Amino acid sequence: MAKATKRQTLSVEVIKEKILNFLSKCQEKGAPKSKLPLAKNPSFEKALEELVSKDSILSIYRRYYLKDFAPTLEKTKEKLLSFFERWVKKNRGRKVYQPISELILKKKFNLVAKTSLFTSLDELAEEGHLIRLKVKKVSYYLPLSLLAQEEPKEGSFDPQKIREAYKELVGNGGFLDVSLSKLRRRAGINRKEFQDWILEQSRQGKAHLSAGDYTLISKEEEKEAILLGSKKFYMVRLRDVP
């Protein structure tokens, strides 16, 4: 019996060493449980359990990583920022910018867990690095460096007029998404100043632009649309407006 126990202990140690060596080669890609070496060995589960319990490896979203290579939100955000920086350099100077859909980002960062990816995108949008747009149920992203505009000139512009107009439109219509055209006209704000402010609120996560139902868009609303990339947005929802 003693010899059998010794053989089993050695087997566990051998498996642990092979798992560690394998994951060191995988680096930041990590690997699912099914791809780890000797996964069918009777001692595999014990070896894996010991490695995880001692924090030698980490299990994150059904993938295993060496501790030094385990993904974090900060690492994911850095990768996303690097990707968007390269994208800006490549596309700078174009007349039309095509927003990047979350579907493309999922394929591009297919080794990053969806939860981590979307949380990182949300934080980058809240921090002002990205602007998030929504068409139906799909989110699109653009780096704010492409949309940098001059600050509105000081004058009669008063954002409180927009907030008050928004409350009136929501109260009258009963919907949180309101027409950009109706909102601007009710607030009595210059178009450029109005759109600059809306984009700034969107950058801060305080406003969400949407396309709405195109079949219901009037000619006047068509003229007042905010164009980002090749997509037009006719509706807006303001947050933090009591």
Closest by CA position to 78, among listed 44, 129, 37: 129
Q: Looking at the domain that runs over 159-238, which CATH code has it been given?
A: 1.10.10
Please report, for the chain, the start and end positions of each structural domain, with discontinuous segments joined by +: 2-69, 73-146, 159-238
pLDDT tens readout for residues 26-42: 887 888 898 999 888 88
pTM for this model (two decimals): 0.48
Domain 73-146 and domain 159-238, same fold? Reply is yes
**Bridge-partner residues for 156, per DSSP?**
none
pLDDT tens readout for residues 102-150: 999 988 887 676 777 888 898 888 777 888 888 888 889 988 766 554 3
Asked whether the beta carbons of 180 and 235 are under 8 A apart, the reply is yes
Q: Looking at the domain that runs over 73-146, which CATH code has it been given?
A: 1.10.10.10
pLDDT tens readout for residues 164-212: 999 988 888 888 999 998 898 888 888 888 999 999 998 888 999 998 8
138 Cβ neighbours under 8 A, 6+ residues apart: 101, 102, 103
